[in-house]
Amino acid sequence: MTKTITLPRPDDWHLHLRDGAMMEGVLPASRDFARAIIMPNLVPPVVTGADAAAYRDRILAALPEDQGFTPLMTLYLTEATDPADVAAAHADGIATAVKLYPAGATTNSASGVRDIEKVMGVLERMAEIGMPLCMHGEVTNAEVDIFDREAVFIDRVLDPLRRRLPELKIIMEHVTTADGVAYIESAEENLAGSLTVQHLMLNRNQMLVGGIRPHYYCLPILKRSIHQEALRRAATSGDRRFFLGTDSAPHAQHAKENACGCAGVFSAPLAVACYAQVFEEEGALDRLADFASLNGPAYYGLPPNSDTITLIREDAPQPLPETVATGAGPVVVFDPGSPLFWRVAN
Ligand code: DOR
Ligand code: ZN
């Protein structure tokens, strides 16, 4: 039986748009979202307020005319970042948040943070002015197993930082473990987590059993099913500390289907429908609006969107787009791995 639900228009609290021809090609794929937090890991990265203003202008210039969309810019935190520049970009409405990549953790993170002491001045200033910090929460030490890097990050970096600077508002982005969920649930305030489509729909078996599937490779990497279950519980709980962040991260097909394939899942075109599918499976459709439309704005101190989207649950599985064409080559779209019955009404 067809069913419909209407939600305040969602926002994507973690999105990679890239730049140039790739950006032009992938921007329309985010049309279900009203706003998105735009990741700054370009080459070279978006470090200063001036970089962010210029990048925002390029996004707005590439935006299709009929796509209402507000990019919320982030600054890439380096050990040379100037606290005054960050504060000015925030006061001017140019930068919504700062992004911390541990150096070497993921795509284009080489200019990230090696020694947290070197960025304490920036973080203290952000705490004073109420500017949020988006975190890629993984350690990069060679001796730490890739599947343990999030849990170790919480113990070694995140928890000590929060004890030292409890006023700093932090988003642990793309939470992938039960440890991450439990840590966020233990925080009274100033900590929230975003959850991706792929970490809710898949575990590492789907990536590795019967052949290696490069289009499921992302960072933090997919974990075992007990972690997936914890993430699904957190997302569908209605808990205000968890919200939608796709981490949709396009790479050209040849860069993924490669002996050393890039990390990143391009989920934007299907993301809202996929989240709806997860919430239906968990019997929690009545809490989808909290996760997709309300908790994120509340944490960022922004009003929810006043327009709405309608989701339709069809009786038959929906046709899935395989690729999106861009001037930088085709990008393979996330395959949910099981039939998808939801779609967003035009
Ligand atoms: O899988 C990922 N891809 N994880 C990240 O943290 C970065 C992203 C990218 O930029 O491709
Ligand atoms: Zn990301």
Pocket test for ligand 1, best of 42, 262, 266, 332 (most atoms within 8 A of CB): 262
What is the tens place of the pLDDT at every residue in 85-109?
999 999 999 999 999 999 988 878 8
What is the tens place of the pLDDT at every residue in 15-45?
999 999 999 999 999 999 999 999 999 999 9
The 8-class DSSP code of residue 27 comes to: G
Nearest-ligand number for the alpha carbon of 105: 1
What pLDDT, on the 0 to 100 scale, is given for residue 110? 86
- Is 315 one of the annotated active-site residues of the chain? no
**Closest residue by CA, ligand 1 atom 3:** 264
Distance 249 CA to ligand 1 centre (A): 6
Q: Locate tokens 């097909």: which residue?
A: 253
Q: Judge if the upstream peptide bond of residue 40 is cis by omega within 30 degrees of 0.
A: no
Nearest-ligand number for the alpha carbon of 265: 1
> In the numeric block, which tokens belong to residue 188?
């009274």
For residue 58, give Cα distances in angstroms to 34, 68, 69, 189, 216. Answer: 18, 15, 13, 35, 29
Q: Which atom of ligand 1 is nearest to the CA of 41?
A: 10
Give the residue among 282, 200, 280, 181 at the shortest CA–CA distance from 239.
181
Please tell me the distance from the alpha carbon of residue 224 to that of residue 151, in angstroms, as a whole number: 14
Which residues contact ligand 1 via a Cβ below 6 A? Answer: 16, 41, 106-107, 136, 218-219, 249, 263-264
> Does domain 11-268 fall into CATH 3.20.20.140?
yes
Helix (H) or strand (E) holding 15: strand 12-15
Please tell me the distance from the alpha carbon of residue 147 to that of residue 209, in angstroms, as a whole number: 16
Distance 42 CA to ligand 2 centre (A): 11
Instruction: Please state, for a pLDDT cut of 90, what percent of the chain lies above it.
Output: 96
| Residue from 51, 239, 247, 335 carrying the catalytic annotation | 247
The answer to whether 253 touches 330, Cβ cutoff 8 Å, is yes
- Those residues with Cβ within 8 angstroms of residue 127's Cβ, 6 or more apart along the chain or in another chain: 165, 167, 168, 169
What pLDDT, on the 0 to 100 scale, is given for residue 1? 62
pLDDT < 70: residue spans in the chain? 1
pTM to 2 decimal places: 0.98
